[in-house]
Amino acid sequence: MRVRCLPQKYLMKKSGRCKVKNIAGKLVWQLQSLFCRVASSWRIHHFRLREGRLHQRSEFGFRTVFNVPIRSGGCGRLLVGSENSFGYVSAPRLGAGEVMLQPREKDAVIRIGNNNQFSNNISIIAASEVVLGNGCLVGDQVSIYDCDFHEVDPVNRTRSVGPVLPVVIGNNVWLGSRVMVLKGVSIGDNTVVGAMSLVTKSLPANCVAAGVPAKVVRYIE
């Protein structure tokens, strides 16, 4: 069986085309990266102009980026650490994938650590305090609330936010898609919460939890 060798000239042309494609691909990636950085800086600047004056204090750490719009509307403190990423263009999203970080009351505070990755349509609302550690993964449409927003008593239902208890989420926690975390909950380090779970009670460290309400399924060794 004879093996046909391609002419050297053809191979050189093909190699040249591959190099051009690689250079073009790198250029496109660099332009996209530049656009994302500029868009993120604009979103943070626009947020500060539009809503920052309402807050007691708002901080965004070094290399924290917003790939989707950010909204607040609160009047408390918003403290975001370094190298956090909000929004993921390729993930499922509703509308523009807007992220809401709302320290609602004057004395409320939302504290977010470093190196966390948030997907789209995240909602974190604090009447008192919500704390999230470092290195966490937060799926799309996750909601974290430290209050009930209304009283159960029909007489006072529209007059109060109801019971308020701080929420504390540890380091390296993974919250799956559409997880809801309610008031008074603490979640230990390295814990994974399955998609669409409702977390009403605290979860220990190093476990996998899921369900409505969320319960420990197994421990991570």
Q: Which residues pair with 109 in a beta bridge?
A: 77, 129
- Annotated active-site residue 46? The verdict is no
CA torsion angle 181 183 188 192 (round to 10) = -10
Catalytic residue among 45, 46, 55, 150: 150
What DSSP line would sit under 50-110, residue for residue?
A: HTGGGSSEEEE-TT-EESS-EE----SEEEE-SS-EE--TTS--STT--EEEEE-STT-EE
Tokens of 63: 């290399």
Which contacts (CB < 8 Å, 24+ apart) does range 24-33 have?
Answer: none
Distance, CA of 183 to CA of 186 (rounded, Å): 9
Active-site annotation, residues = 150
